[in-house]
Amino acid sequence: MKTDPVALPADWPEDWTRAARAGVCLHCGNELTRYWKPADGPFCCRGCQGVWELIHAASLERFYNLKPTTTSPAPTLRPDSFAWLDRIVEEREAAAPGDRVLRLDLDIQGVHCAACVWLIEELFRRQAAGVQIRLNPALGKVELAWDTGRGDLKAFLTELERFGYRLGPARKGVQRHSRSLIMRMAIAIAMAMNVMMFSVSVYLGLEEGLLYRFFGWLSFGMATVSLIAGGGVFYRGALAGLRRGVLHLDVPIALGMTLAYAGSVYAFLTGGMEATYFDSLCAFIALMLVGRWAQEHILERNRNSLLESSGAENLTVKRVRAGRLEAVGAAEVVLGDELWIAPGDLLPVRGLLLRRSTEAALDWITGESGQVAFAPGDAIPAGAFNATGQGFAVAAAENFVDSRLNDLLRTTSIADEQFRPQWWHRIAGWYVGAVLVAAAGGFLLWAGRDLTQALETTIAILVVTCPCALGLATPLAEELTHHRLRRAGVFVRKPSFMEKALAVRRILLDKTGTLTMGRLVLDDDSAAALTALPARARAVLRHMTARSNHPVSACVAAALGPVRSDEPAVTGEDADSLREIAGRGLELVLPDGVWRLGRPAFAAGRGDEAQAAEGLTEAGAEGLTVLTRDGQTLLRVSPAEEFKADAAGEIAALRAAGYELHLLSGDAQAKVDRAAVALGLPPERAEGDLDPEAKAARVRALDRRDTLMVGDGLNDSPSFAAAWCAATPAVDRPVLPGKADFFFLGDGIAAIGRSLWEARRLRRVVRDNLVLAIVYNVAAIAFCAAGLVTPVAAAVFMPASSIGVVSLTAVRMARGSSWK
């Protein structure tokens, strides 16, 4: 998207103006959407802007010299309390008391390129306590040694978190299959290169002598090594398919390798190298292994981009025992335990609040936006998140095994179990059958006249009809598709998604966190009232909101903007006497009066009874915040949820593309109705007040093996299990991405349309490749049946066809439009 230079602020730095005019994000290099505004700066999302500012503040600009032109957007992460680290440290200290150097093997998420590695290593190098760090970005793992006597490891992890990197306990297993595949591929490629070099000498005239025999035995030995090292992958696949009664693509590959090897060995031992297919066989094995590796490694890389978690094993909580805090796993919590929920922690079980009032965010567990107030003795539900700046104590009212949170964490999707590959594998089955029939026909055609020619014809058909369109070009197309998506911040985790996406007709959207930014904004009338506020009132309001972590306070503080020259500073002994009353508001007693900011009844100094008598119930007052001095109203503002900038436009584009969209939320129906109006959704497709089970029931009722569920809270976990496929923007906790088909970064929802569009684009490219493959194979079979394809011709045609279809695929995938 090119930006009109006239619309850009004149005081912008040159690099800002250059990036905006080019229509790309200054940090990640992705395109700025059509919803971008100059007020956002030349950045595609908050995460990119925040990380760009941090990099320049820390003089780490070399990051931009090392990073690729385009990379994934930077995520915005919720603060972690690092309770899991306390548990690890306690275990290490018990194992090695007195050892100041803490050596840890951890998982890491957010590392995408060499620039990320350099940035993390440079930040670590600047730490006095840093002893050693080693990163493996491919596996998402880090090894570090930290001198606990010279620095706080949590402070360093917090700094990394601000840059978009999150560390956690080591949960990722070693990908033995992937490593084995790489080793087999390397052996096969090495054998192929050497055997082809030996064969060239024969094709150019070497017919006899010691060197001729030596090259022949070397080719025989290397082909044998290649068959043993690389062929096992396809033999296992073919046997597994035959046991299930499926003509798997590995069947003709395995059969072709076997017959080509057997025929070549017979020809070599009875004649010479001229009638062998050793070179074609080795090249064939190498190419098929490259295709198989390409299919697997990008998905593995995407899975390694996040912390591994299947549920409760990553949840840690602080338990009070004998007056001391100990970090324990959530699974160890039992009825009656006293728990301390620090800022940033989740409550793993239902708990009774002890001692003082507090607030907690329930959006992750219920979908309800905003914070909920609790008084001592109230029951706080499992999954509540402490988003305040202070911790609170609860008494566990249940064992973790009986917790609602545990139930939600254990929900699993049955969609993958029910999924059966459709058009792609049907075509592969047809291809396998056609090749086998053609090979049998070629054998029968010559068997009555020349048995040797019959065998050569059969082998030639199986070798020349190399399934490159299926075994090599298609994995390449998938690899390039995943690369395009990954570069745009979309990470596909499940190999079945690209085919399941073709069936999607209904898109089911959660509201809070999925379509909203997770923060509040003021409407135009409220902003105008704030601007007109007298200088003294503005100063006091700024003083109060700057000292509160409540979302409403943060919203008002941001709307106040920079300090005006006429605002008097709030000073004196009373300036720090601010009280925050959970669920009500803020109170500050100053010499010129009692200032209050909060709900109307609280701000006016009246109780709930007086509010009800006025006809102003809590429901009616929801969203209205009042500033008073001695009960006199000075300001009324109505903070509201901020929708993502592209939400309405993307929803309209998806509906125009033929998708049926529904809004399903655990938030109040009144809020959901307002959201539907703002987003342009029909009211009958906007449903609120849905608990996790009710939302999952609606998904099951709507699903016809054609739904995509998009959500960000643990309350969406049952819905993910019920939907055909699922996606999430929630990368700050690993549980939900682990259940999703794909996750995405950034401040928008364009990833939904982009992923569906790319799936259809992939199908078009694969379909066209198959048409070309059919034409080529029909011609090749005809020549083979006529006895015209010699081993030399096979050695030319097979790699030439492979190179042709792969090149065409690469060109087509690199060009073309994208989802807008």
Higher-pLDDT residue of 507 and 689 is 507
Please tell me the predicted confidence (pLDDT) of residue 297: 73
- Name the residue type at position 216: G
Please tell me the predicted confidence (pLDDT) of residue 781: 76
Instruction: For residues 783-806, give the mean pLDDT.
Output: 70
Instruction: For residues 797-802, give the mean pLDDT.
Output: 70
Share of the chain above pLDDT 90, in %: 20
At residue 499 the predicted structure's pLDDT band, cuts being 50, 70 and 90, is: confident
- Over residues 303-347, the pLDDT tens digits come to 777 676 655 566 778 888 877 888 788 888 888 899 988 877 788
Lowest mean pLDDT among 3-7, 53-57, 623-627, 752-756: 3-7
Please tell me the predicted confidence (pLDDT) of residue 246: 62
Report how far residue 646's alpha carbon sits from residue 187's, in angstroms, rounded to the nearest whole number.
Answer: 49
Instruction: For residues 624-647, give the mean pLDDT.
Output: 89
Say if residue 656's pLDDT is above 70.
yes
Please tell me the predicted confidence (pLDDT) of residue 616: 38
Say if residue 413's pLDDT is above 60.
no
CB-based contact 554:545 (threshold 8 Å): yes
- Max mean pLDDT among 167-176, 474-483, 498-507 falls in 498-507
Higher-pLDDT residue of 345 and 241 is 345
Per DSSP, 734 falls in state S
Q: Over 259-286, what HEC string results?
A: HHHHHHHHHHHHCCHHHCCHHHHHHHHH
CB-based contact 659:667 (threshold 8 Å): no
Q: What is the DSSP string of 669-695?
A: HHHHHHHHHHHT--GGGEE-S--HHHH
- Over residues 109-142, the pLDDT tens digits come to 888 888 999 999 999 999 999 999 998 887 788 9
Please tell me the predicted confidence (pLDDT) of residue 462: 66
CB-based contact 370:388 (threshold 8 Å): no
Higher-pLDDT residue of 146 and 716 is 146
Instruction: For residues 161-186, give the mean pLDDT.
Output: 79
For the chain, helix (H) and strand (E) counts, in that order, are 30, 26
At residue 428 the predicted structure's pLDDT band, cuts being 50, 70 and 90, is: low
- Over residues 10-56, the pLDDT tens digits come to 889 999 999 999 999 999 998 888 888 888 889 988 889 999 999 99
Say if residue 273's pLDDT is above 70.
no
Please tell me the predicted confidence (pLDDT) of residue 245: 67
Please tell me the predicted confidence (pLDDT) of residue 608: 53
Lowest mean pLDDT among 612-626, 663-677, 755-769: 612-626
Computed over every residue of the chain, the mean pLDDT equals 81
Please tell me the predicted confidence (pLDDT) of residue 205: 74
Instruction: For residues 169-198, give the mean pLDDT.
Output: 80
Say if residue 610's pLDDT is above 70.
no
Say if residue 702's pLDDT is above 60.
yes
Say if residue 438's pLDDT is above 90.
no
Per DSSP, 666 falls in state S
Instruction: Give the side-chain half-sphere CA count within 13 A for 40.
Output: 23
* pTM score above 0.85: no
Please tell me the predicted confidence (pLDDT) of residue 700: 93
Say if residue 782's pLDDT is above 70.
yes
Report how far residue 428's alpha carbon sits from residue 426's, in angstroms, rounded to the nearest whole number.
Answer: 5
Please tell me the predicted confidence (pLDDT) of residue 612: 43
Say if residue 745's pLDDT is above 50.
yes
Angle at 439 between CA 437 and CA 441, to 5 degrees: 65
Please tell me the predicted confidence (pLDDT) of residue 225: 93
CB-based contact 129:153 (threshold 8 Å): yes
Please tell me the predicted confidence (pLDDT) of residue 791: 57
Q: Which residue has the tokens 């990073």?
A: 67
Share of the chain above pLDDT 70, in %: 85
Instruction: For residues 778-801, give the mean pLDDT.
Output: 71
